[in-house]
Structure 1
Amino acid sequence: MRTFAEILREVFSDRDLTPEQVPELDLYMDQVLTLLSEGLSDTKRHPDEKLITKTMINNYSKEKLISPIQGKKYSHQHIMQILCIYQMKQTLALADVKQLTGRDDVDFETCWRAYLDIKQRVRDRIPEQLASLDANLEDPGERLALCLALSAISTYMRRLCETIIDDTMPQA
């Protein structure tokens, strides 16, 4: 069984899809799915997990979480929007994600770059803080207590996002 410190190192060493890895050329759906599947593979819990599907992207378009598609191709900006949606849908309700991404007044590449910078700063600080929570993962009680604490931290972060959205965005 791995230690908490080993798990921390693994979780915080994921790699990100950068704007440079997203082609400036418009892509068809299958090309988008391949790009995202390969670029986000470090975030998979299980090797056969589908991170994003054609149906998901079509639903994002139908629900206006992304800008309208021109023909059958997705632009660099669309892919950057999809990356933002993918990241936030892990935690936030789609209605909240829509308020942030379903817009034409945002440069999603610039936002993604800023996000990557902030995420790197978090990667540099948070693992050290979390390491102090070290628990004996073989003990069911300590494992549960640690997961409860980590879940509470996640809830604080979700609530922080929701409050930022509620305080700064007009309600639809």
Structure 2
Amino acid sequence: MENMETLSETLHLDSHLSLEDMPDLNLYMDQVIQLFERHFGDTKRNEDEKILTKTMINNYAKGKLFFPVNNKKYSKEHLILISMIYQMKGAISINDVKTTLNQLNEKVTDENAFDLQDFYGYYLQMTARNAEKFETDIQDHHKQVTKTIRELGDKDENYLEQLMLIAVFTNMSNYYRRAAEKLVDQLGTDQETN
């Protein structure tokens, strides 16, 4: 079985779109797609997977997941929102992403009311800390699973270790997804009452 350090390296936990990676000039859709492919391409499960497509961006725009573009060009603020959409859509539904970003879009379009770049910078700091914590957590899970499976004394030890790790990882993922969904539900209720 692959060790957890190697697994962690293959996940490319440091893949993100930093503020420095985003140009100060507005981009056309094809340029946005290229930028995302460059920065998130290593995270694809296989070569056929697409990070971002024209259809996805158009659907996000039609669904009002981000504020309208100007002259078919995407600003740095659009790139930030698309990056957040990209990260969230892997765990929660597009409707939940929309609910989550609705008020943020309003804040961004209200002149000088909110600095999205500062907010995103803090978000990136949190993701870096989360990556470090994740690496420690998967090492801890691996040690515990290995110990437990070895005590079973089964000849299919390698398979059982992988099975248990998959079960543990998906279980943790479900905890975080459910917590996020509860927060989205509260956010949706809060938005309805305002």
Instruction: Provide the TM-score with structure 1 as the length reference.
Output: 0.89
Q: Where does residue 132 of structure 1 map in the other structure?
A: 140
Q: 1:70 to 1:12 in 2, by over 3 A?
A: closer
Residue 3 of structure 1 and its aligned partner are, at CA, apart by: 2.2
Q: Where does residue 119 of structure 2 map in the other structure?
A: 111
Q: Following superposition of structure 1 onto structure 2, how do residues 35-114 of structure 1 map, counting pairs within 5 Å?
A: 35-102=35-102, 103-106=105-108, 107-114=115-122
Q: Contact 1:96–1:162 (CA<8 Å) still a contact in 2? A: yes
In 2: Cα distance, 1:12 partner to 1:33 partner: 19
Residue 68 of structure 1 and its aligned partner are, at CA, apart by: 0.8
**Which 10-residue stretch deviates more, 120-129 or 8-17?**
8-17
In 2: Cα distance, 1:122 partner to 1:10 partner: 16
Q: Where does residue 17 of structure 2 map in the other structure?
A: 17
C-alpha offsets along residues 68-113 of structure 1, whole Å, 9 cap, x if unaligned? 1112111111111100100000000111100122322144423321
In 1: Cα distance, 2:13 partner to 2:132 partner: 10
Q: Contact 2:61–2:68 (CA<8 Å) still a contact in 1? A: yes
Q: Where does residue 31 of structure 1 map in the other structure?
A: 31
Q: How many residues align?
A: 172
Identity value in percent: 36
Could you tell me which amino acid in structure 2 is paired with residue 111 of structure 1?
A: F
Could you tell me which amino acid in structure 2 is paired with residue 121 of structure 1?
A: R
In 2: Cα distance, 1:64 partner to 1:120 partner: 29
C-alpha offsets along residues 40-69 of structure 1, whole Å, 9 cap, x if unaligned? 122211234211100000000000001111
Instruction: List gaps (5 residues or longer) in structure 2.
Output: 109-114, 147-155
**In proportion to residue count, which structure has more helix?**
2
In 1: Cα distance, 2:157 partner to 2:54 partner: 40
Instruction: List gaps (5 residues or longer) in structure 1.
Output: none
Q: Please give the root-mean-square deviation of Cα atoms over the aligned residues, in Å.
A: 2.1
Task: Give the structure with higher Rg (CA).
Answer: 2
**Which 10-residue stretch deviates more, 158-167 or 41-50?**
41-50
SS in 2 for 1:40: helix
Q: Does structure 1 residue 155 correspond to structure 2 residue 179?
A: no
Q: Does structure 1 residue 143 correspond to structure 2 residue 162?
A: yes
Q: 1:138 to 1:8 in 2, by over 3 A?
A: farther
4+ residue runs over 6 A deviation: none
